[in-house]
Each structure stands twice: as structure tokens, then as C-alpha cells.
Amino acid sequence: MSSTEYSDYIDDADPVEEVLPSNHIQVELPIELRGERIDKAIAKVLTEYSRSKIQQWLEAGLIYENERQIQVKDNASGNQILDISIPLDPQNSAFLPENIPLNVIFSDEHIAIIDKTYGMVVHPAAGNWTGTLLNALLYQFPECSLVSRAGIVHRLDKDTSGLLVIAKNAIAQLGLVKQLQGRSMQRKYLALAWGKTPLTKVIHGSIGRDPRDRLKMGITLGSGKEATTHVKTLCHTRFEGKDLSLISCVLETGRTHQIRVHLESIGHALVNDPVYKNRIPHQTAQTLKDQLLAQNIHLPGQFLHAALLGFTHPLNEEHLIFTQSPPLPMLQILEFLKIDPSLWQKSLETCD
């Protein structure tokens, strides 16, 4: 399945790497793999690399048979010997297993539910080629090495905590992606935002790269990807004379930084967001951060937690709902602001 088929997959673009070959190896594909898509066949033999990595090598023209370049669309003929030029690139280690602890909420032979900690990058990228959720999955669930993107079908930002579903085989992955595309997967988040948010609000706004800052996303007119976020206020509070709101957010779509961009666009940026912070009371925000640090309460990034994930099991069709409490620093921040920490559970209620 190509990256373009993941219409709700965060960071859809999957550019071909521009790399220089360095390490030449030969791989023999046995007759039993005849008829398999060539990337799948290679992945079954070269298990230390993911299918997405092998697809990139194919697209970059690094795999040959008898001096003929193998194409992505080719099928294995069996009893083949392929010459592969593995790039000398830090990305080579990006798809290797690493023994990184994971909080596995649920696991069967087809899927796994992970409670991702804040501070963990989901997928390898520039500056984070190792130590990612993908590396941890390849160690914890070796079968994920045979699935595109190691079974990852949706992501959370580095400093967003909470629930993710992982596919352990291609059939499960396809079923989960279809639910994302059909907008039937339930994803509910707990967030703390600046300002006094309305009781309920539906935010529409296409999201694309900010033309003034390519490292940010923004609301784009006439371009970008359609995005919709449902917001429900759980309570309001005040700090140093400024309003804050505990809210739940329900995603219809899953665009890059969607909740953060949408809330900033209506004047309610997330507390402690290092990037999207227009129209926040900056001096009060710094005072809050300083006082929290004085209490030994530290949150590295935005106050955003994926608290609920619901979907239909892609194989047995059972409807599953998983919930997960926010990490301790978030609960401590709520207590510091005199917000009942148990209010996070209200974020699990239906938000229309």
C-alpha cells in the first residue's frame, strides 16, 4: 500500500531518499515467494529492514537483478538473486529494532494498543533516526517488520501522550486505514487551553504548511487538507487573572498538528505549546511555567493527551474502546490550578 492511500495518515508525504550506495549485498528469493510483490518478498528475507525502507530503495534504483533495475511494481519470480546497494546513511538504523520499554494496553495476534509517553517520536525522521516508537515496535513485535511502516497507521506529536493502535499484519492495517479514511475511528483528546472556550464548538479549517514558516502548519485558504475538530469545554479556571479551559477534542480528520493549529486559530492555544502560541498571555504563561517548575512539575510540551480510542477490530469485527489516564505531570498541573483531576474522564463522554 503506497503512502498516498493513507489519506488520514499524518505526514502523508514519503519522499524518496537521495542517498549514495555504500554496502553491496546479495539476497536470494526462494521459489516459495514466487508471485509475491517484490518489496514484500525482499522484506521476508531481509527482515532487519522495514518494507517502507525497501520500497524507498526500489524507488531510488538501488536494487538490481543481472544488471536490470528492479521496479516497485515487479513481482518475485522465485530463485532470484538480487544485488542491493544499502545506502550509507543514518536512516539505515531508523528501521532497526531497539529495546525501548512500551506501555502495551492490549495486544492480540493482529493489533496492539500503545500508551505513548510524551517525548517519544513515533516515526523516524531528521534528527530522530533512533529511539522512536517504530524502533520499539520492531523489537516488541517482530512481526511488524513485515508490515508497511511497522504497522503504524496514525501518529501523535512527540510531546502528545496517549493511545495509538498498531497493526501487526497487512490485513489488519488495511482495515484500520479504511476506518480512518471513513472517519469511523473514535479519537478523543484532553487538552488545557488559554482563554475561556465556548461550551461547544466545531472548528473547520484546511491545514497545510505555513508559507511563512515551513516547520509549522497553519490554516490555509484554497489549499491544504480539510480538517474538522469538535471541542467541548469541561471547566474553566483562572491563573494570575487569566482564563484557562480544560476541554475535550474529537477528531474527524487526522492532520499534522490539527488540534494545536485549530485551537490557536480561534485564540485558544494550548498551555505550554512551544510552537503554536499566538495570542496567549506570554508573561502569565511564563509565570505558570516557573511556578510549576518550583513544584517540580515539568511538562516538556503542549498539554494534550489522547485519552480515548475506539474502533472495530479489523478481523473479528468486535467494537473496542480503550481509555487511558493522562500522565502524572498533567494531573499535577490540574491540581495546581485547582481543577478536579478526575474531570479528565468527562472527556470520554460523547462530544457532538
Q: Which residues are catalytic?
A: 157
Looking at residue 268, what DSSP letter applies? -
* CA 197 from centre of chain: 26
- Residues contacting 271, CB < 8 A, separation 6+: 192, 193, 194, 244, 285, 288, 302, 303, 333
Chain position carrying cell 491563573 = 239
> CA-to-CA distance for 295 and 72, rounded, in angstroms?
55
> CA-to-CA distance for 20 and 30, rounded, in angstroms?
28
**C-alpha count within 13 angstroms, C-beta hemisphere, residue 14:** 23
- Lookup: cell for 286: 511564563
21: phi then psi, degrees, rounded to nearest 5: -70, 145
215: phi then psi, degrees, rounded to nearest 5: -85, -5
Chain position carrying cell 497487512 = 170
